[in-house]
């Protein structure tokens, strides 16, 4: 495409979050940093956040890995591609022969293109023959996905276009700080803010919560881990106050009477006792959501990353259904996908229990269909594997993983109980990491393979609104770098794998489309060629039919066309005693950082705003511990210790400490979190960890985590 200055550039999308802001990337010269300009698009309207504006700096970074590396002693030596791939294939064959195919695991990422995510699932199951594949989206979207599937029969984060929020008079955001995680999104909140209808639920007075101060919005500040009680109480209030949409419930849902009975014990005064949210606020929110002027309920990781995350997401859906918001033209419910391709990444085969098109791997018809597309007998496709936390925990265990191939993830920083993950990696006979940089996980690898970045490849991504987008090549990658499609093709040939593995993204997408045909996430009517026309491509997009910008207008995806109201129960937790520095830790994001920080911690401008992790404490809590702003503090659990500086702020509850999860080594928040998971979704408990907080009088730095495998 040609920009306003008449220069040719590639129309593509930001490499970071699932808002997938549109941008144009133009190569200035063969070695200089490419130029990025915002592009008009419904999600971002030409705007970008600071991560988007600086995204091209990483393409020419001096820290880039530009040739394969093989471990030698305590470090690495450069290797040819043939040597590296031959070594991997030889070790995989030996491990499979000794311990079986499930001794080899694959860990994927929500930032991979649809093509790479699809082919990775196929490669794992056919070329490696393993059931042991999962991905880091298990840490982000699994609870919301599980809740959406059981309520609606399908999981699409936002079942409506983002710009439909522009007309809303009321938007309730639970556990999502969009002002920092996806700043252009806040433009879609303008109408609700002006109408006094922005409601933010967050234990912190986050940047998003502060937006409620303009226009008379509402900030609910429940105690950490009490979101489920809050939602049950709001649902009870809506029903008992006569605010439920009885006609909608009768004709479009099932299970109302069971739901009504299940929430009856959560009267407002009891909810206030458990959450700390005043009764008057509860009544105000219930009335506002039921006002009939266009209401939306949106959830994020803050209410989902818990051991009861699926039930909490279900409670939010139940509230939306009781109000009659879902599947209507001007209201709705949705969950805000975080990673760039978090939606597409979970649809086409990276999850341990799924096949392409969001099909269940245990469904005989699904297996038969996908096997036909792959050209193999269905019986050679392995059954379901195990979710991410269990997969990582099996390293070093009898009959567990002996080899792991990691694509687009940095588990040493992003996984819970990070010290245990590190110890597990050290037990492996083979660790292969595909990455752009020597991440904290790559530092433990036996083989590191350099792969293409976002602007160096063709492909597709699926945004948080279920819109399939074209990622286009704008610049040439360094000479020694290869696409993961090529890597999978080469390894499959060395392993004499069944099936075919194309290196061409358009061909892989065409196969993905065929494999998804008839599934919940049907892409069969799409192709790179069609997407290049600029069509608004919301899935399901079946062959011969239009896309689906707004889902559920006529029916839900269950056989009877009705949504399911799923009763859930809260088991209120006893908060930690507020003495001797015992507090509740919540983890989250910063404006200038992204995920494990593998990319953003290498951009000087982004690091300048937050060069280190800081623990946010309330002034009274800090004073009680003898701490002032900027002092050193130590946070400890039985799993590990983090040492960092204190940021004193009245924006957080007295009983809570906040720590961002983007940092590594001794500042890694996931040294503290535990590997407890939601029994339905496998989602880890990231948001409510009991920690001991104490002042550090000795300013010596804490021990760091380094790759020391020999």
Residue 628 sits in a domain of what CATH number? 2.40.40.20
Average of per-residue pLDDT across 662-689: 93
Q: What is the pLDDT at residue 577?
A: 61
pLDDT digits (tens, 9 = 90+) for 409-442: 999 999 999 999 999 999 999 999 999 999 999 9
Residue 461 and residue 409 share a domain: yes
Q: What is the pLDDT at residue 703?
A: 43
Q: What is the pLDDT at residue 676?
A: 94
98 contacts: CB under 8 Å, gap ≥ 6:
none
Comparing C-alpha atoms, which of 563, 686, 16, 572 is closest to residue 317? 563
Q: Where are the beta strands (DSSP E) in 182-303?
A: 198-201, 218-220, 253-254, 295-299
476 contacts: CB under 8 Å, gap ≥ 6:
30, 456
Residue 419 and residue 508 share a domain: yes
Compute the radius of gyration of the chain from its Cα atoms: 24
Residue 518 and residue 421 share a domain: yes
Residue 161 lies in a domain: yes
Residue 618 and residue 591 share a domain: yes
Q: What is the pLDDT at residue 292?
A: 83
Q: How many domains does the chain have?
A: 4
CA 688 to chain centroid, in Å, comes to: 18
Q: What is the pLDDT at residue 549?
A: 97
CA distances from 674 to 176, 421, 436, 634, 657 (A): 22, 11, 29, 17, 16
Residue 182 and residue 130 share a domain: no
Tokens of 203: 């234990």
Residue 514 and residue 386 share a domain: yes
Residue 573 lies in a domain: no
Please give the Cα distance from 226 to 576 (Å, whole number): 13
- Of 60, 80, 100, the domain-final residue: 60
CB 652 within 8 Å of CB 658: yes
| Residue 141 pLDDT greater than 80, yes or no | yes
Average of per-residue pLDDT across 545-549: 92
Residue 26 lies in a domain: yes
Q: Where are the beta strands (DSSP E) in 342-466?
A: 354-355, 359-360, 403-407, 430-435, 447-450, 459-462
Q: What is the pLDDT at residue 609?
A: 86
Residue 5 lies in a domain: no
240 contacts: CB under 8 Å, gap ≥ 6:
none
Query: What is the chain's mean pLDDT, rounded?
Result: 94
High-pLDDT (> 90) share of the chain, %: 88
Residue 228 lies in a domain: yes
Residue 105 lies in a domain: yes
| Residue 700 pLDDT greater than 70, yes or no | no
Q: What is the pLDDT at residue 215?
A: 79
Q: What is the pLDDT at residue 214?
A: 80
Residue 564 lies in a domain: no
Q: Give me the domain span that covers residue 34.
A: 10-60
Residue 220 and residue 93 share a domain: no
Residue 253 and residue 155 share a domain: yes
Which CATH number belongs to the domain containing residue 25 in this structure? 2.20.25.90
358 contacts: CB under 8 Å, gap ≥ 6:
154, 155, 346, 347, 348, 516, 519, 520, 521
Comparing C-alpha atoms, which of 174, 499, 544 is closest to residue 349? 499
Residue 337: pLDDT band (50, 70, 90) is confident
Q: What is the pLDDT at residue 707?
A: 40
428 phi and psi angles, rounded to 5 deg: -70, 150
Residue 299 and residue 198 share a domain: yes
| Residue 508 pLDDT greater than 90, yes or no | yes
Q: What is the pLDDT at residue 705?
A: 41
| Residue 702 pLDDT greater than 50, yes or no | no
Residue 331 and residue 381 share a domain: no
Which CATH number belongs to the domain containing residue 215 in this structure? 3.40.228.10
Please give the Cα distance from 383 to 470 (Å, whole number): 32
Lowest pLDDT segment from 199-213, 312-326, 517-531, 567-581: 567-581
Residue 8: pLDDT band (50, 70, 90) is low
Length of the chain: 710
Residue 403 and residue 259 share a domain: no
Residue 177 and residue 262 share a domain: yes
589 phi and psi angles, rounded to 5 deg: -115, 165
Tokens of 523: 């892409």
Residue 390 lies in a domain: yes
């Amino acid at each position: 495409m040609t920009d306003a200055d008449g220069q040719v550039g590639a129309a593509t999308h930001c490499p970071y979050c699932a808002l997938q802001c549109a941008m144009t990337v133009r190569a200035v010269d063969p070695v200089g940093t490419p130029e990025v300009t915002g592009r008009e698009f419904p999600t971002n309207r030409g705007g970008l956040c600071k991560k988007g504006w600086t995204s091209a700096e990483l393409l020419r970074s001096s820290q880039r890995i530009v040739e394969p590396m093989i471990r030698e002693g305590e470090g690495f030596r450069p290797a040819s591609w043939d040597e590296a791939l031959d070594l991997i294939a030889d070790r995989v064959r030996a491990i499979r022969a000794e311990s079986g195919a499930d001794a080899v695991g694959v860990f994927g990422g929500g930032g991979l293109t649809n093509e790479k995510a699809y082919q990775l699932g196929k490669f794992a199951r056919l070329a490696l023959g393993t059931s042991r594949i999962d991905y880091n989206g298990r840490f982000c979207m699994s609870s919301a996905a599980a809740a959406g599937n059981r309520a609606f029969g399908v999981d699409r984060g936002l079942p409506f276009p983002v710009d439909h929020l522009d007309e809303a008079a009321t938007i309730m955001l639970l556990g999502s700080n969009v002002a920092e995680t996806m700043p252009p999104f806040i433009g879609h909140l303008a109408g609700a803010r002006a109408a006094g209808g922005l409601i933010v639920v967050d234990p912190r007075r986050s940047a998003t919560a502060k937006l409620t101060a303009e226009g008379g919005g509402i900030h609910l500040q429940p105690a950490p881990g009490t979101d489920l009680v809050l939602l049950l109480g709001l649902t009870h209030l809506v029903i008992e106050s006569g605010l439920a949409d009885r006609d909608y419930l009768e004709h479009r849902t099932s299970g109302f009477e069971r739901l009504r009975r299940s929430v009856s014990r959560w009267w407002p005064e009891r909810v206030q006792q458990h959450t700390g949210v005043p009764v008057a606020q509860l009544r105000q929110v219930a009335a506002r959501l039921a006002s009939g002027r266009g209401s939306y309920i949106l959830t994020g990781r803050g209410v989902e990353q818990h051991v009861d995350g699926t039930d909490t997401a279900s409670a939010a859906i139940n509230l939306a259904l009781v109000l009659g918001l879902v599947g209507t033209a001007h209201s709705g419910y949705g969950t805000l996908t975080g990673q760039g391709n978090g939606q597409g990444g979970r649809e086409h085969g990276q999850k341990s229990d799924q096949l392409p098109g969001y099909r269940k791997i245990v469904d005989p018809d699904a297996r038969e269909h996908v096997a036909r597309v792959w050209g193999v007998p269905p019986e050679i496709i392995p059954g379901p594997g195990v979710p991410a936390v269990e997969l990582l925990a099996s390293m070093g265990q009898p009959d567990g993983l002996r080899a792991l191939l990691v694509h687009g993830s940095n588990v040493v920083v992003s996984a819970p109980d990070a010290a245990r993950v590190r110890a597990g990696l050290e037990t492996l006979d083979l660790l292969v990491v595909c990455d752009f940089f020597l991440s904290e996980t790559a530092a433990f690898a036996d083989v590191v393979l350099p792969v293409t970045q976002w602007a160096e490849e063709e492909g597709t991504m699926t945004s948080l609104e279920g819109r399939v987008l074209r990622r286009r090549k704008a610049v040439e990658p360094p000479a020694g770098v290869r696409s993961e499609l090529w890597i999978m093709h080469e390894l499959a040939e060395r392993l004499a794998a069944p099936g075919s593995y194309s290196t061409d993204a358009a061909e892989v997408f065409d196969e993905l489309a065929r494999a998804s045909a008839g599934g919940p996430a049907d892409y069969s009517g799409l192709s790179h060629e069609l997407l290049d026309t600029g069509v608004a491509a919301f899935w399901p997009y079946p062959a011969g039919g239009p896309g689906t910008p707004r889902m559920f207008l006529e029916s839900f995806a269950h056989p009877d066309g009705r949504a399911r109201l799923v009763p859930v129960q809260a088991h209120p937790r006893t908060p930690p005693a507020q003495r001797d520095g015992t507090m509740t830790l919540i983890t989250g994001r910063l404006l200038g950082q992204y995920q494990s920080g593998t990319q953003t911690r290498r951009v000087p401008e982004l690091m300048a705003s937050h060069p280190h992790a800081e623990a946010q404490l309330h002034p009274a809590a800090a004073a009680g511990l003898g701490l002032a702003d900027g002092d050193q503090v130590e946070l400890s659990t039985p799993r590990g210790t983090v040492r960092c500086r204190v940021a004193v702020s009245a924006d957080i509850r007295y009983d809570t400490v906040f720590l961002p999860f983007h940092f590594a080594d001794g500042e890694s928040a996931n040294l503290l979190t535990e590997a407890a998971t939601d029994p339905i979704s496998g989602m880890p408990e990231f948001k409510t960890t009991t920690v001991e907080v104490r002042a550090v009088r000795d300013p010596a730095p804490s021990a760091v985590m380094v790759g020391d495998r020999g």
